[in-house]
Amino acid sequence: MPLQLLVLGLDGADWAILTPWLDAGHLPNLAGLRARGVWGPLRSTIRPESSIAWVTFATGVNAGRHGIYGFSGQKPDSYATTLNLTPAIRRPAFWQTAATMGKRMVVFNVPMTYPPEPLPGGAVVGGMLAPGLQSDFTSPAELRSQLLAAVPQYVLNVERTGLSLRQFIGETMQAIAARGAAARWLLARDRWDAAVIVFTDTDRLHHYTLHLLEPRHPRYDPAEAAALLPALLAAYQTLDREIGDLLALAGSDATVLVVSDHGFAPCTRRFYANTWLEQAGLLVRRPDAAAQPGLWRRLRASPTLRRLKRSLPVARDWQRPPPPRGHLSGVDWSQTAVAFSPAGGLRFNIGGREPEGFLSPDSAERLAAELIPALLDLADPATGHHPIQAVHRRDDLYQGPYVELAPDLILESVRSDPDPMRNTAVAFGFAPAGPPPGPFTSSGDLTGNHALDGMLIAAGPGIQHGHIAGAQLLDLAPTLLHALGLPVSRDLEGRVLSLWSEPRPIDWVDGDLGSTSPASAATGFTPDEQATVEERLRALGYL
């Protein structure tokens, strides 16, 4: 049915990747939106990771107020970490605010929407953190069986394990088609005011295929690129067709926004901060924890066994790792001053804050003052380049009641240099044993890494034509509420973007429109489900 507002999220989409195909006429629906609307870069969050980025998009406030700094969070008064699911988000999403004001909303496959929260008068299909199709990933709950009956080929995520790159691209293209079919089915079954529909498949493609687009990448092979680029383009053309079908369903009077939570760039290197800290004597592991991966992980690395696991039903459970102990479970905290936390940065072992902390706040500050220039001066011996371009104190980035959940220092690596040898992903855990020994390794199969600038297109009645500059993820929640004709709280931190040719008065109101979501550490996962989700995130470099 015709919509008032359609938001299409293309996770990790980047103008540098799409523009050549747009200009060549390969993606006519996206090109048509660009031609009849405004378009430009969309600045992500620091770090530009899908968890913090999509929650910032949804809430319109910085992480210090919504409480999400990564897919994993560190429990207060503990060294343990937990997966961040919807109960951990401390602020309402704009679609919750709109629903309380009478708008009928569809929220489809947006990351960080599992488990799905009830939406008055609306429907939610949870995103990538759902452990499987058997889980309760929809609200209302009965929507799950109805969706799977209508689109039996629907998948939550395409796993790279055991697939050749060609197979992975092909299965991802099928997933795009299934996601589009499910979204159209959901839109057509009722009358809705607005829909937020995210294709996470673009992010998955970019993680594994950007070496095909960059001849300077050390993994670039002209023969492989010639063989696989048509398949990669075909996957994007499938996405473009699904976008066209969704636009037709939305109707010509709908306001349409295409957004990505971050961009992407070719990447070749990986930096393990914990290995660097260990070599500096600032992090100590227990002798029994420093051993290299055992038989189970060596078996997982075998291509033959990976294919076997996918083909034999009896062997599919082998894909699941043993119950996870966490990257830092083997750390001797009585001798460790600082560690790189799965929450996304360096966290000091401060007395009175951490269970075995021994640093005073002053000594932690002195150590930070030493670490910051050391990290900025750090050079990758394989390239001679400096991979860390900025180190931020958390109070300089974030403001709000949940800043204490953030790491103390956030590392920002070089992400978008034209030379992919300069682009480095900061990795969790510890580097595998050499040679060569040390904190730097190849990025391996992950040949693309997140970049700070995603993309924005806005088109529809009254919207200008041309380029837009300076847009941020923070701006989208207030802008989308305004596009729906709803009041906008001054409590939101972004601005309403100037998308329309004629000024549209903004109904600013004081106070927060909507209740704050209660925070909870509970995941509701069984051990097997948690292992499945953690392995999925680990494969993508998020844990």
In a domain, 308, yes or no: no
- In a shared domain, residues 242 and 374: no
pLDDT of the residue at 327 = 67
Give the end of a domain, one of 442, 475, 492. Answer: 442
- In a shared domain, residues 131 and 47: yes
In a domain, 318, yes or no: no
**Structural contact between residues 88 and 109, judged by C-beta atoms closer than 8 angstroms:** no
Beta bridge partners of 426: 271
**Structural contact between residues 343 and 407, judged by C-beta atoms closer than 8 angstroms:** yes
- In a shared domain, residues 33 and 99: yes
Beta bridge partners of 272: 427
pTM above 0.75, yes or no: yes
- In a shared domain, residues 199 and 281: no
- In a shared domain, residues 363 and 464: no
pLDDT of the residue at 317 = 38
Give the end of a domain, one of 442, 476, 506. Answer: 442
How buried is 118 (Cβ within 10 angstroms: 0-12 exposed, 13-18 middle, 19+ buried)? exposed
In order, the DSSP letters of 2-25 are --SEEEEEETT--HHHHHHHHHTT
pLDDT of the residue at 518 = 45
**Structural contact between residues 208 and 232, judged by C-beta atoms closer than 8 angstroms:** no
In a domain, 457, yes or no: yes
- In a shared domain, residues 253 and 281: no
pLDDT of the residue at 522 = 46
- In a shared domain, residues 396 and 535: no
In a domain, 438, yes or no: yes
Residues of the chain with pLDDT under 50: 291-302, 304-306, 308-309, 312-325, 515, 518-522
CATH number at residue 245: 3.40.720.10
- In a shared domain, residues 428 and 500: no
**Structural contact between residues 457 and 286, judged by C-beta atoms closer than 8 angstroms:** no
- In a shared domain, residues 187 and 134: yes
For the stretch 389-395, contacts whose Cβ atoms lie closer than 8 Å and that sit 24 or more positions apart, written own/partner, are: 389/413, 389/414, 392/46, 393/368, 394/345
DSSP run (H or E) holding 148: helix 143-150
- In a shared domain, residues 490 and 352: no
d(CA 480, CA 44): 17
Sign (positive or negative) of CA dihedral 455, 460, 461, 467:
positive
What pLDDT digit, counting tens, does each position of 253-272 carry? 999 999 999 999 999 999 99
pLDDT of the residue at 190 = 94
- In a shared domain, residues 41 and 166: yes
- In a shared domain, residues 112 and 259: yes
Give the end of a domain, one of 414, 442, 470. Answer: 442
In a domain, 326, yes or no: no
pLDDT of the residue at 1 = 59
d(CA 402, CA 89): 10
Number of domains in the chain: 2
3-state secondary structure of 268: coil
What domain range is 467 assigned to?
5-265+451-539
